[in-house]
Structure 1
Amino acid sequence: MFSVALAARVGMLLFTFAQPQRFDYPDSQRYALVARNIAAGLGPIESPTNRTGTDPLYPLLMSPAFALLTDDTSVAFVWTRLLNIGFGMLGLAALLGLARRVAGDAAALAAGAIYSIDPILLFFHGLVLTEIPFIGLLWPAMYFLWRARETGRLRFAAAAGALLGLGALTRSSALPLAVVLPAVIALFRTGREVAGDASRAARWLPTLIAWMALLAVLSPAIVRNHRLLGTFVPVRTGGGATLLESLGPWADGGPGMEKVTWPRVPPDADEAQRDRIYRDAALTWAAEHPRGAVRLAWAKLRRTWSLTLNAPGYTSRLYDVIGWTTVAPVFVAAAAGAWRLRRRAGVALFVLMPALLIALMHLLFVGSVRYRVPAMPGLFILAGVGVAPWIERLLLSKPRTKDAHS
């Protein structure tokens, strides 16, 4: 399975050479700009007036290409796509480990097969965006959280918290996820409880350790941002602008920064002050137009969980067929898997938690298939549970022999 997954990802890398324009996104150029500045010793900045507006870890990982190898962005993108492949394979290993522990070998086999060849997931390996690195951090963290839940061993909780912190530095919109996930394991029995208050304390100790590790990883960014802005910013600024993109008369549920009418800001306003002005303007509009905000929330939800792609250039009949033949079966099988786990609701809730939290966040922020991609391994696990009975019958059952009856 690892060989198939690796071959598919290398194939996608080669495809990017044939159609480079299809894999060139504005965010990719922004990450390259920040990576150049890191390589030049300027830190993770876009410009002197936007020093804290980009999640720092992905450009940091890209920066050695500019520091040591090349000044050519296209060559640096090859380096970054190779990193994507590595993170993608880490995600596969974590998915297999987690699926095997929560649902058994057959479900793990099916989930891993879907992950290995899912076309949308493969496509994102070719993009210089944060989705695949985030998968490679989030799902190992999920695995370690489950191990902490099973064993009560604090080293698993610490590893999970550190990975969640790195994930938040890669994708700051996932910070709520990084905070909530360690709390989820406290709601499940760990197998090590004793009666009374000690049991509750034992359940919450791994959560506290994970939170401490999360804070430790985020601390350098928090300190840097406070030094630059004089206020608490856990990862980056820019959330206010994104919120204003999402809420306003120009909003349609999808990306559209170019359509926003920006409020006036003082010439000397720093990044945090601009963010606050934009956020207040967005929330004021939502309070004055509650029906419009609800309509937009529904549009964002539909875009995020659409069977077909929304982005310009990906709305042809071919892409619709790919969506209906690959995404729809996963959703149906995942629903079947959730039904099979109805007596183990905690398991289903755990693997679905990234999807649920991402869905909630994108009721507020713009919606896109892109934003659900990091949550899809959880749905692959549920889909594996849904088809596990057939896998067991076809591949894992052992034929009964005459000796078995003697």
Structure 2
Amino acid sequence: MKSACHSQYDRRLLLLILLVALVLRAGFVVWLQERLDATGRDYLISGDAEGYWDLAKTIVKGEDYAIHSPPRSVHRMPGLPAVLAISISIFGESRFAARILLATLGALSCGLLYLLGKRIHSSAAGLIAAALLAISPASIGFSGVILSETLFGFTMLLSLLGAVSLIEQLTQSSVSVSKVCGWALLTGILIGLGVYTKPSWILVGPLLGFLLLAFISPRWNSGIAAVLMTLGMVLVLLPWGVRNQNVSGHFKLTTFWMGPSLYDGLNPQATGASDMRFFDDDQLPNEMTEYEVDKEYQRRSWEFAKANPSRVVSLAGAKLWRYWKPWPNAAQFDKALIRIGLCLYTIPVFFLAAWGAWKIWEKNWSIVVCAGPIFYFAGLHMIFVSSLRYRLPAEAPLLVLSAIGILSICGRLNDESKRRAD
């Protein structure tokens, strides 16, 4: 009876957290839309956002999935444009409605984070993590921006929940092969859904498979899981790869934008921030196919890296600082109030996460799931360009460790209070 009451209380508290998350995000969207309308702007951060919106319109109209001139058909993954297309199909070309839809997904991510925290530690940890995400200033701010971070954060948490379930099956004393196979395939499918929003997530499937094979015995169980998980991911991405083969003559599970993105981070003028002016200056799409442009910029990037190893190391340090810096890098957001607000949230959260990881150090797989994504993207963006934007989705699972840190501190304070009372 007591357990049932406690469970009902947790559900009510979770619903309250989800409501707060939605109100904060929707409120920010209303404020942002009013500001944009007043200044005659369509987007807070133009460029990528405009491209996603234009691609969404091509989906709704049944046109070729391509933007720019000459057209780029394998330029962006279709995850976010597909979600935006749903909004356009229902509400018309209302960017406000699309922002509300993304804000709703951002609020629902708090629910997924609760489930992750509950699976890894306890219901209390899940509730605290969900509450921390609900009030995250950066998460609230990005929920109104038509970029991929909010949607990717949602799909990433889904894939991490699958990974936790798979690891639980593999580490049980009595392993069910059928359940291992089922969870491996499902986890791969969920990772694939994440790749449809952020192509760099594609390395997580084989990387997690390698970790399972290297550290979980018996090897044949973890080997089966690794293979099936990678297979599930590839199967989900296969329609996109076949489509890319048909439109470009080259099979590709992600996009032909890696080369320009890589050169953005590795070129003679690189600073660690994104500056794609070189792409407009070079005008390579006028002379080459999309595939050839991708390969050409990859070649230039590696040539620069080989010729300037010390510069690459220096850039990596600058990118690492941009990634971990508690406040935004972009000049338009570099305001005192924003700096203070983000620092007051981010710095304690990071310290609490470190303490939480220390308290559950023996549960190494839990730490891998919670902290792995943020360090994974830190490593990637030491090569590509870097900013807070790329760290933001991976902060969500890290909050589970922050919640564990809070519970540990509260438990110690309670024990101290009891000792003093005695």
CA distance in 1, matches of 2:126, 2:60: 41
Specify the alignment match of 1:18 in structure 2: 34
The 3-state SS of whatever aligns with 1:324 is helix
Deviation at 1:249, TM superposition (A): 1.6
Out of 318, 321, 327, the residue aligned to residue 308 of structure 1 is: 327
Pair 1:9 & 2:25 matched = yes
Specify the alignment match of 1:403 in structure 2: none
The 3-state SS of whatever aligns with 1:318 is helix
List per-residue Cα deviations over 1:176-223 (Å, max 9, x = no partner).
Answer: 12432344445555xxx7xxxxx3222232332222221111001111
Indicate conservation of the 8 Å contact 1:134/1:167, yes or no: yes
List per-residue Cα deviations over 1:135-188 (Å, max 9, x = no partner).
Answer: 111111101111122135233333222121111111112221243234444555
Structure 2: 5+ residue stretches without partners: 1-16, 171-178
Indicate conservation of the 8 Å contact 1:44/1:54, yes or no: no
The 3-state SS of whatever aligns with 1:342 is coil
Deviation at 1:392, TM superposition (A): 4.7
Specify the alignment match of 1:161 in structure 2: 188
Aligned AA (1:298): G
CA distance in 2, matches of 1:7, 1:365: 35
CA distance in 1, matches of 2:120, 2:339: 33
CA distance in 2, matches of 1:224, 1:25: 28
RMSD: 2.5
When the two structures are superposed, what TM-score results if normalisation uses the length of structure 1?
0.88
Counterparts in 2 of 1:183 and 1:143: CA distance versus 1, 3 Å: farther
% identical equivalent positions: 26
Indicate conservation of the 8 Å contact 1:159/1:210, yes or no: yes
When the two structures are superposed, what TM-score results if normalisation uses the length of structure 2?
0.85
Indicate conservation of the 8 Å contact 1:49/1:270, yes or no: no
Between the two proteins, the alignment pairs up a number of residues equal to 387
CA distance in 1, matches of 2:263, 2:383: 10
Aligned AA (1:362): H
Pair 1:128 & 2:149 matched = no
List per-residue Cα deviations over 1:40-63 (Å, max 9, x = no partner).
Answer: 212321145311111112112212
CA distance in 2, matches of 1:250, 1:362: 17
Deviation at 1:277, TM superposition (A): 0.6
CA distance in 1, matches of 2:188, 2:117: 20
Structure 1: 5+ residue stretches without partners: 194-198, 400-406
Specify the alignment match of 1:31 in structure 2: 52
Deviation at 1:26, TM superposition (A): 1.7
Aligned AA (2:120): V
Range moving further from structure 2, 263-272 or 324-333: 263-272
Out of 346, 350, 354, the residue aligned to residue 331 of structure 1 is: 350
Specify the alignment match of 1:44 in structure 2: 65
Indicate conservation of the 8 Å contact 1:188/1:346, yes or no: no
CA distance in 2, matches of 1:187, 1:312: 44
Deviation at 1:12, TM superposition (A): 2.0
Aligned AA (2:77): D
Counterparts in 2 of 1:128 and 1:266: CA distance versus 1, 3 Å: closer
Out of 111, 133, 155, the residue aligned to residue 137 of structure 1 is: 155
CA distance in 1, matches of 2:332, 2:414: 40
Specify the alignment match of 1:404 in structure 2: none
